[in-house]
Amino acid sequence: MDVAAALALARRRGVDRLDAQVLLAHHLAQPRTWLIAHDDAPLPAEVQQRFTADLESRAAGAPLAYLLGEREFHGLRLAVTPAVLVPRPETEVLVDWALALLGAQPGEQTGEQTDGQPGAPRVIDLGTGSGAIAVSVARRCPAARVSATDIDAGALAVARANAQALGCAIELHQGSWWSAVAGQRFELALSNPPYIAGDDPHLAALRYEPRHALTPGGDGLDALRMIVAGAPAHLEAGGWLLVEHGFDQGAAVRALLVDAGFETVQTRRDLAGHERCSGGRWGAGPAAESHVTGSRGTAGGDAKHAT
Ligand SMILES: C[S@@+](CC[C@H](N)C(=O)[O-])C[C@H]1O[C@@H](n2cnc3c(N)ncnc32)[C@H](O)[C@@H]1O
């Protein structure tokens, strides 16, 4: 079998041409453009075998990211396994908002962290999965001290590997939502929790991803309710909570935040124009400003705010 025959096989199996090219290039350890100039190149037997197996999986609905073992998120290449949700582009809205609150420069990227300094803002990512949010924030805002949690040990292992591979020191904790960081407070709390309703028919198409990463059951809002309800005990005064939610859950999440006593409650839209992330500031007071900074090391432990 040569390159052209492999791509023709993919077409007959109903696999998208771009997906097939990406998979074949991956198995050949070549860039995708190489395939165009080498369509008569013979495939080694083991490449044929792995490519054919992947075509079957892809045709059955397995995410391309699981077959490749990686996904790009916020400009970073993250390892993914079936233990974690495949990071979605919508979640980059949450990361961009977090970075704006932290005063990080767009595009800034370094593996060198300076966390642990007095005044380093403490950031928590609840339900970190692959570590997509935590690692992106740690990379773009090296001054932050980033923690991340998940209920699932398999997900934490993936997050740990990604943090190590990308040179980020992230504190990882296993446990359900805030119970994983009992007694700790943060300047910024972030979460992309499971939010699909338990009876949503779209869940069938997402069957390869862990169900507990997709839905908390019921109306889909239970995890968001727990995260919002627990946030006041874990945020410094003036700290922010930002959460991702379903396109039709914006009003419900804003109501949760307002009812819990959050101020400056607002929502950001994703690139498709859907309401995607909502957040609010905890106990901001009249003089609060727009960036979060750490409070550790300040007299009396009161929160500082700087623009
Ligand atoms: C929608 S995924 C988000 C993963 C990752 N943050 C991202 O944006 O790609 C939700 C994550 O929450 C985790 N999770 C589910 N229930 C949880 C709970 N009770 N406490 C902590 N994490 C939980 C899942 O294991 C999963 O990794």
- The predicted pLDDT at position 104 comes to 84
What's the pLDDT at 155? 98
| Contact (Cβ atoms closer than 8 angstroms) between residue 187 and residue 122 | yes
CB atoms within 10 A of CB 67: 20
Question: What is the distance between the alpha carbons of residues 88 and 155, in angstroms, rounded to a whole number?
Answer: 16
Distance 108 CA to ligand 1 centre (A): 27
pLDDT of residue 296: 43
Dihedral class, residue 183 (left if φ above 0, else alpha if ψ from -120 to 50, else beta): left
- Among candidate residues 79, 86, 78, the one with its CA nearest the CA of residue 205: 86
Among protein residues, the one whose CA lies closest to atom 20 of ligand 1: 176
Q: Which residue puts its alpha carbon closest to atom 12 of ligand 1?
A: 127
Question: Hey, is 126 helix, strand or coil?
Answer: strand
Q: DSSP class of residue 86?
A: P
Mean pLDDT by 10 residues, the chain (307 residues): 96 96 96 93 96 96 97 97 98 97 71 61 98 97 96 98 97 98 97 98 96 98 98 97 98 98 97 97 67 48 28
Pocket test for ligand 1, best of 192, 214, 225, 277 (most atoms within 8 A of CB): 192
CA of 145 to the centre of ligand 1 (A): 20
Determine the atom of ligand 1 nearest the C-alpha atom of 193. 10
Beta-sheet strands, E only, within the chain: 70-73, 76-79, 122-126, 145-150, 170-174, 186-191, 235-244, 263-269, 275-281, 291-292, 305-306
CB-based pocket (< 6 A), ligand 1 = 84-85, 87, 91, 127-130, 132-133, 149-152, 155, 176-177, 192-194, 212-213
CA–centroid distance, residue 176 to ligand 1 (Å): 9
- Ligand 1 site-directed mutation target among 73, 146, 151, most atoms within 8 Å of CB: 151
Q: Are 126 and 224 within 8 A, CB to CB?
A: no
Neighbouring C-beta atoms of residue 211, cutoff 10 Å: 13
> What is the 2 CA–ligand 1 centroid distance (Å)?
42
CA-nearest of 304, 272, 305, 276 to 291 is 305
Ligand 1 pocket test, pick from 70, 96, 208, 212 with the greatest ligand atom count within 8 Å of Cβ, gives 212
**What pLDDT is attached to residue 105?**
67
Which ligand 1 atom is at minimum distance from the Cα of 128?
A: 6
CB atoms within 10 A of CB 61: 11
Q: For residue 209, which of 35, 64, 19 has the smallest C-alpha distance?
A: 64
Q: Measured from the CA of 134, which atom of ligand 1 is nearest?
A: 6
Using CA atoms, how far apart are residues 97 and 243, in angstroms rounded to an integer? 10
- Its pTM stands at 0.91
Return the residue matching tokens 């446990």: 175
The two tokens of residue 276 are 């995607």
